Chain A
Amino acid sequence: MERILCFMRHKIPTKERRKENLPVEVETSQWSGDMSITDVASSLLRCEETFSACLARINSVVLQPLLQSGSFEQAKFFLLLNDHFQVIWDLTEENYRALKQTVTETETASVHNLYLAWKADLFLDAYIQYFSTFASCVVVQGFEHAARNKSEVWKSHKPSLQQLLEDFSPDTSNAVSLHTVLHKPFQDHLQQYSALFSKLEEIKTLGPDKEAIVNASRQFAKLRSFISQALDEAGLTRNLWKSLSHKFTDVLCTPERRLLEDSRNLSIFSSTGRSDRVLLFHDILVLIQGSSLQSFDLKLVWVDETSKETGNHTLRVRTPEEEFFLLAKEPESRAVWKWKLSQAVRQALNGKRDFPLWSHTGEGRAPPRCRFSTFTFRADGRLKGAAYDGEWRLGKPHGKGQLTWPDGRNYVGDFKDGLEHGFGICLVPHASKDRYDCYKCHWREGKMNGYGICEYGNEMVYKGYFRDNLRQGFGILDNTSSAKTPFKYTGHWENDKKSGYGVWDDKEREERYIGMWHEDQRHGTGIVVMQSGVCYRRAFHLDKMVGSGILLLEDDSIYEGNFTRDLMFVGKGKLTFPNGFTLEGTFTNKSSQGLHTEGILNTSGGEPDDTITKLQLGQREFPVEQRWEGLFSQFLEFVSSGGQGETEESFMGFHVQTSKELRKSQEYLYCDRETEEAPKNLLDELLEHQETEALQSYLEEALKSSLHPLGKLLKALASAFQATYGGIGANKHLLAMAQEEVKHYAKEVWEFYQGLRDLALKVNGQPLLEDTNQSDLNGPALILPLILPSFYPELLMLYMLYHEKEDDLYCQGIVDLSLFPDLKLLEFLDVQKHFWPLKDLTLTTNQRRSLIKDRCFLSATECLQKMITTVDPREKLDILQKTYEEIEKTTNRVLEKEYSLTMDDLLPMLMYVVTRASIQHLGAEIHLIRDLMDPANEGGKHDFLLTALESCYELIQKEFRLHQNWEVLQSS
C-alpha cells in the first residue's frame, strides 16, 4: 500500500497538467485516401491525449475512492487492479510524450517513432494483466461488495461517474457503473488502436517494417478477443457461484477459477449415475450428483471419443481412480465438449491459459497422452493413501515414478499401466522405525519377478531370482559374519524356501552342506565337508540324517554306517583303515568312555587301495546338468523370450560393472542405469564375428565383460562354483564333481552363445545355420579355455589335494636329485654322453666341472618352469612343446647338425629338464591339462609330449624309491 501511494504521488504532477475533460471520440472522418505515418502519429497523439485524460478522471473519481473505501475481502484485487491500471496509464503517457516529440520535431515520422507498434508487447502485457485482475474482481463479486459497503461514497460520486459513461442512466446500479467504467473505456481505446493499425497497414511505403506492423496489429486483435472472452468467462463464473449452494461454492470457489462449460448450457450427461450437472472449469472437471460432487484435476484427465461401450455421442473420460462416459444427445454438443475438454486439459498441463483463451480456428492441439504429475490415491485397494509422483499415461502411472504409502513403504522405479513393471526399488519399513527391507529388483505387473537384490532389515542379503514376490529359482542368501548364526546359502528356491540343489555354509560349525533341500530343510542326498578335511555323504530327511552313510576321514580311513553330526559312530558299521585293515561290528559311543565296539578286525586286506582314498562323491547323486539348472535356465529364457533389452536385467542380473555400483544411492540406480547399449547392437556384433578366429577373440572379450550376457553367465556360474568348491569345499573327494562341472559350464556357455546367435539371425531375418556347417567347430572345446581362468584357483587346489601324495613323493625325489651336480645327474639319468652340453659349463678359476649345477639345458628348464604361470591348457601344452624345442636346439648345437631325437634319446634328457625345473605340483598340473585339454589332441603330438612329461613324473616318484642307488652314485 505504501509503495503504491508513493508511486502515485510521483505521477500526479504530470497528469494534472491537463485538466480538460475531453470526450472520448474517434476521429475517423479525417482518415480517407492515402495517409502517411506522420498522419497516423498525429491521430494517435490526439487519441492518447484524450485517453490519458480519461484515465486521470477514472483514477480520481473511481479507483482512488475504491482503494480508500476501507478493507474487505476483495481489497487485494483492487490493489492489484490499481497497479495494473497505473502501468497502463504510464504507458499511455509515455506513448503520448514520444508522439508529441515526433510530431513537433521531425517532419516525417517512421514506424520506429510509433512507440505503440514498436513496444506492442509492453502494452499487451499491461492490458492482459489488468483484465485478468479485473476478471477476478468480477468473479469474487468485488464491485457489488464495494458498492454495498460504501454506498454513500458512490452516491456523492454519481455525477462524476455519469460524466464518464455515455449511456449512463440514473437507474444503473453503482455496482454496474463501477464495473462498466473500469473496463469499457479500455476496450473502446483498444478499438481505436486497432483502427489505427488497420490504417497503418494500408500505407504502401512501410517497406521492411510492414511485418512488424502486421504482427502488432494481430496481437492487438487477439488482445481484444482475449478481453471479451475473459470477461465472458468471468461473468459466467460469477453467475455460477451466485446460483450454486454454499456447500458447493465453499469447496469449489476460488478467485482464479473460471467456468468453461456447463451441462446446463450445453447438454451432456455423465454415465456415473444420476448426474445432475457437469461443470468444466479451467483446472478441474466437476460432476454434481444431488448434494455430492466429484472433482477431477484436469492434468490427470484423458478424454477420447468412443462408440464401442455406449453407442454414439459418447466421450470416455479417464482419471486415476475413475473412468466414466459423458453422453451427449447430439454429435454437435459432443464435439464442442470434446474440444473444450481437450483444450482445457492441454492448457491445464501447460500451467497457463492460451492467448486468446480459445483459439478461433478450433484446431488446438490435443493434450499429450503421457504426462507428469502427482496424485494421492483415495479409493480402497492396495494403493489407498499412496502418493504417486511421476509419469502417467491414460489415467495410469506409466513410465518412471515414485509411490509412497502412508506406512512408509516406498517404490521408486518403472511403471506400466498402473503397476510396477520394469526395474524398481522398494523400501519396506519394519515395525521398528530405523530398519527396512530394501528390494532392488525387476517387476512384472506389480510383482517382483526376475533378478533382484534384497537387503533385509535383519542384515541378510538375497541376490537372485523372484517370482510373484517370492524367492524362486537360483539365489544366494547371505548374512553378515557378525550375525549370531552366520550362514550363506547358494542354491535353488521355491516359494521363498530353499528347495532343490543348494550349498549351505554354516559358518559357526565351519561346515558346508552340498545337496538337496525341500522347504528350507535338508532333504535327500547331501555331502557335508568340514574344515578339517573330513567329509561324508548321507541321506537327509527333514533336516535329520537317516540310514547309513559314508564318512571319509582325514587319515584316509573310511567308515560306512550310521554316525552322528559330531562324527560319533553309532550302531552297525564298517571302518576301513588306510592300511587295508577293516573293523566291522557294532559301535557305541559314550562320552565318558570313548569308542566301544564289538566286531571283527580283518587284517587280510593287503595293499591299500587307491580307489578308496581317492573316492569321489557327488557325481552320481547330483547329475551335472541339473546342478545349477535354475541359474542357466534364466539365460536361456532370455533368449527364448526374444531377448528384449528391457528384460535383460531381469533374466541375467544387474547391468553394472562392479557390485559397488549397486551400493550407490537408489536415485543413482533409478536414473542412470537405463541407457544401456541396445541389445540389437550386441546381436549385430555377434553376427559379425562368426569366423573361427574372430569368434574366438569375440568370445574372449564377451566373457571378460561384466555387461555382456555371456560375461554375466560366466560370472554367475563362477559364483556358484566358488560357493561349492572354494574355502571348506576344497576337498579331494569333490574333484571329479568340480571338473565335470567346469566342462559342463563350457557346454552351457556355448549353448547360450548359440541361442544368442540364432536369435540374432532371426532378428535380422537371416536363415538359421544348419548344424552340419558347424560340425568342424567344437564349441565347448573352444569355450573351455576361455572360461577356465574363472574357475582355475579352486580347480587347481582340488587337483593339488587329489594328487597330494604323489606330488609329495615326486617332490622328495626332486629334492634328492637336486643334490646332484649337472654331470652326475646326466650320467645317472643315462643321457647319452654325446648329447651332454659340455660347452655350456663355463668355469671360473676355482670351480670344478664335475661340481657345476643348473647349467645344462638351462633354456629348456626355464621354459618348462613357465608352465605354472599359465591357466589355459593350450598354453601349457605350447610351453611343453617349446621346452622340447629347446632340448632339440641344445642337442643340435652340441652335435653341430640337425638330429631327430628318438625316444631313447629324448626321455632321459626330458627327465633331466623336469628334475631341474622342479615344479612343485607337477602331478596336479599334468592331470589338469589332461582332463581339460581339447579332446582333439588325443593321440597327437601334444598328447605325446604330455605323456612323456607324465612318464618323467612317474619315474621321479619311482626313482625316489630306489634311494640307495643314488647313494652309491654320490659316493663314487
Chain B
Amino acid sequence: MMAIRELKVCLLGDTGVGKSSIVCRFVQDHFDHNISPTIGASFMTKTVPCGNELHKFLIWDTAGQERFHSLAPMYYRGSAAAVIVYDITKQDSFHTLKKWVKELKEHGPENIVMAIAGNKCDLSDIREVPTKDAKEYAETIGAIVVETSAKNAINIEELFQGISRQIPPLETHENGNSGTIKLGKQTTQMTRRCC
C-alpha cells in the first residue's frame, strides 16, 4: 500500500496570465476529475505517483487582481509549494512574479518549493520576457522554472513532476515539517483505488 501525501500548492500571478488554465490542463484528463471535489477552477486536486509515494496536489488558486494582493498570505500559509505564473508576452507580469517571490521569501512558509511557470510559450513570437532572464532569475532564488503552454499542453506535467521531485521524501515515523503533509483517513481508501 502506497502512502499518500497531501501537498498544498498555491497559485500566484497576475490576473490573465493563465494560472487556472495551467491547473485545468493538469487535472483535466485525470480519471478522478469527477470524484475529486473541486471548487470550479479555484480549487482542484490531482494525485500523481512519485517514487514509492503518491502525491495528492491540493491546488489553491488566488485572485490575481491588485486589490486582493494583501489577502495572499491567507492562501499560501501552510503551502508545500507555490506555482508562480507569468505571461512571457507581458513584461509586467514578470515583475509581479518577482514581487511574489520576494514576499514568499519573507513571509511564506519555510522550505516552500517555488516553481516559476512562463505561460503562453506558444506565443513566442510576441515574447517580451526572454527565457534566459527567467532561467537566471530562477537560479538565483533556487526555483524550478519551465515555460509552459496551457493551450498546447506543453510542460504542464513536467512542472508538477518538478515540484514532486523537490518535495523531500517523507521520513518514516515523522510527519514532515509542514502541516500539509499528513496521512489522512480518506487516503487509505483512495490508495486502494489508485493501485
Give chain A's interface residues, CB within 8 Å of chain B: 776-778, 830, 884, 888, 899-908, 936, 938-941, 944-945, 947-948, 950-951, 954-955, 958
Contacts and interface: CB of A to CB of B under 8 A. Distances in A.
A888 B43 CA distance: 13
A914 to B, nearest CB: 13
24 contacts: A776-B188, A777-B185, A778-B185, A830-B67, A884-B39, A899-B40, A900-B20, A900-B41, A901-B39, A901-B40, A901-B42, A902-B20, A903-B20, A904-B61, A936-B182, A938-B179, A938-B182, A939-B6, A939-B8, A944-B58, A944-B60, A947-B74, A951-B75, A954-B70
Nearest to B181: A939
Contacts of A944: 39, 42-43, 58, 60
Given A902-B20, A945-B43, A955-B71, 19 more contacts: A776-B188, A778-B185, A884-B40, A888-B40, A899-B40, A900-B38, A901-B42, A902-B61, A906-B39, A936-B185, A938-B180, A939-B6, A939-B58, A941-B37, A941-B39, A944-B60, A947-B60, A950-B74, A954-B71
Contact of A906 (B37, B42, B179): B42
B43 A907 contact: no
Indicate the member of B38, B68, B70 with the most A CB atoms within 10 Å: B68
B24 interface: yes
Contacts of A904: 15-16, 20, 61, 63-65
A901 B43 CA distance: 9
A133 B71 CA distance: 108
Nearest to B16: A904
A906 B61 CA distance: 10
A936 B186 contact: yes
Interface string B39-61: 11111000000000000001011
Given A940-B58, A958-B70, A902 B40 contact: yes
Interface in B1-59: 6, 8, 11, 15-16, 19-20, 24, 37-43, 58
Contacts of A902: 19-20, 40-42, 61
A941 B64 CA distance: 19
Interface of B: 6, 8, 11, 15-16, 19-20, 24, 37-43, 58, 60-65, 67-68, 70-71, 74-75, 78, 179-180, 182, 184-186, 188
A830 B65 contact: yes
A901 B41 CA distance: 5
B71 A903 contact: no
Closest A-B pairs by Cβ, 9 of them? A901-B40, A900-B41, A902-B20, A903-B61, A951-B71, A939-B8, A907-B63, A776-B185, A944-B43
Contacts of B186: 936
Contacts of B62: 903
B129 to A, nearest CB: 21
B185 A954 contact: no
A936 B184 contact: yes
Nearest to B56: A939
B156 to A, nearest CB: 16
Contacts of B71: 951, 954-955
A951 B74 contact: yes
A778 B16 CA distance: 42
Contacts of B60: 944, 947
B193 to A, nearest CB: 15
Contacts of B42: 901-903, 906, 944, 948
A905 B184 CA distance: 31
A835 B133 CA distance: 38
Nearest to A830: B65
A171 B16 CA distance: 145
A947 B39 contact: no
Contact of B68 (A899, A936, A951): A951
B78 A939 contact: yes
A955 B184 contact: no
A944 B184 CA distance: 17
A904 B13 CA distance: 11
A941 B61 contact: no
Contacts of B37: 940-941
A449 B74 CA distance: 54
Nearest to A881: B39
A888 B188 CA distance: 31
A353 B169 CA distance: 92
Contacts of B24: 900
A776 to B, nearest CB: 4
Contacts of B75: 947, 951
Contacts of B61: 902-904
Nearest to B187: A776
Indicate the member of B37, B71, B179, B188 with the most A CB atoms within 10 Å: B71
A696 to B, nearest CB: 14
Contacts of B78: 938-939
Contacts of B40: 884, 888, 899-902, 905-906
A777 B68 CA distance: 38
A939 B180 contact: yes
Nearest to B60: A944
A292 to B, nearest CB: 81
A835 B173 CA distance: 49
Contacts of A777: 185
A907 B71 CA distance: 11
A904 B180 CA distance: 24
Nearest to A692: B185
Contacts of A906: 39-40, 42, 63
Nearest to B15: A904
A908 B15 CA distance: 13
B38 A941 contact: yes
Nearest to B8: A939
Nearest to A776: B185
A902 B179 CA distance: 25
A899 B24 CA distance: 12
B181 to A, nearest CB: 10
